[in-house]
Structure 1
């Protein structure tokens, strides 16, 4: 993977590598060690990551900002695939892009019929095998997506995230002894970051 030079000029194009740094920046609060390993794999510095996040925030807050759907196409290129998702009574368009850091995942942008972006997060790639989620010990950081945890430990209730791009799920899951525990799972960009267990 190409290395992004340190001190990249702000006027240079915002690339898929930059976008991966934005994803990582939000995850660093919960899993700094995993983020550090990923940063080394990408061959970038901490200032590179900060700069990418700064530029992303400026892009989305600019008065001249593109709509979210066109912004992702501008940064990530044409989607790898476009699928139709049925949400209630509506047919929505799901656009998926590869994310080299997580080869079995895709970044999904879900569009309502009017073109508005409803959701932006990581999902399992079509055809990729998801994790076997049976007990609390299977819920390791970065092991699963929101929808995988919700299916595995149904019924799960959605919880308000603590910040933009964060989601929560509440559910019960068995521990290694088979005792069912109350769990709150936290996700960033749709990927599991941590779980809190009670009961």
Structure 2
């Protein structure tokens, strides 16, 4: 039996699929944007129970003592990457593996794989050649509109914040609203995709 197969609701052991993985992404986002998640889940033709079951099976696979490495696990579930690109992070060489995500055609799921197939990062990024959103004002920061790296580039210097759970990130920065007033902003991301912002008082 494959270590990347888990029992479904009927008790049968079947491999997880790219569809299951999209449901795992959505399940993590449901805490912040349940309406968007429900719309996306329906577009995939999956019930709420089906989404929960896919996430349950994913968690069981990740926690299994027989589970493969994270890098091998992604290849097993998602197949061969659409692209593999050499990259250098600091003094270390790694590879960026990317897969398409049908729910978001303009995005890719990226895994940074270091020596000994260690996974350094895993999140959604803009697809090569896809236009990035215009991020000029606080009002442009709408849920699911942009990724961590796009927000960090648009509003430097953005300060990273510790995520509230695995697969979550945060950024703190100042950005102008449409009146030109600069505001203190905290942005929260799940799997690298913007989920919500909190806008405070006037920034410097």
- Scaled to the shorter chain, the TM-score interval is over 0.9
2: distance between equivalents of 1:68 and 1:125?
22
- Which sections of structure 1, spanning at least 5 residues, go unmatched? 1-5
- Which sections of structure 2, spanning at least 5 residues, go unmatched? 1-7
Q: Is the 8 A contact 2:175 2:185 kept in 1?
A: yes
Counterpart pick for 1:137 among 136, 139, 143: 139
Deviation at 1:168, TM superposition (A): 0.2
Given the two structures, how large is their TM-score scaled by the length of structure 2? 0.92
Change (3 A) 1:31 1:8: farther
Q: Is the 8 A contact 1:143 1:191 kept in 2?
A: yes
> For residues 73-152 of structure 1, what are the structure 2 equivalents within 5 Å?
73-152=75-154
In the TM superposition, what whole-angstrom CA distance separates every residue of 1:131-177 from its partner, at most 9, and x where no partner exists? Answer: 01000111000000000000000110100000000000000000110
1: distance between equivalents of 2:22 and 2:199?
30
Deviation at 1:113, TM superposition (A): 2.9
2: distance between equivalents of 1:192 and 1:9?
36
Following TM superposition, where does structure 1 have runs of at least 4 consecutive aligned residues deviating by more than 6 angstroms?
Answer: none
Deviates more, 1:83-92 or 1:6-15: 6-15
Q: Is the 8 A contact 1:167 1:190 kept in 2?
A: yes
2: distance between equivalents of 1:91 and 1:139?
33
Q: Is the 8 A contact 2:145 2:194 kept in 1?
A: yes
In the TM superposition, what whole-angstrom CA distance separates every residue of 1:60-94 from its partner, at most 9, and x where no partner exists? Answer: 00111110000000000000000122211222100
Change (3 A) 1:8 1:140: farther
> For residues 27-66 of structure 1, what are the structure 2 equivalents within 5 Å?
27-66=29-68
Q: In structure 1, what is the equivalent of residue 25 of structure 2?
A: 23
Partner SS state of residue 48, structure 1: helix
Change (3 A) 1:10 1:131: farther
Root-mean-square deviation (CA, aligned residues, Å) is 1.2
Change (3 A) 1:33 1:8: farther
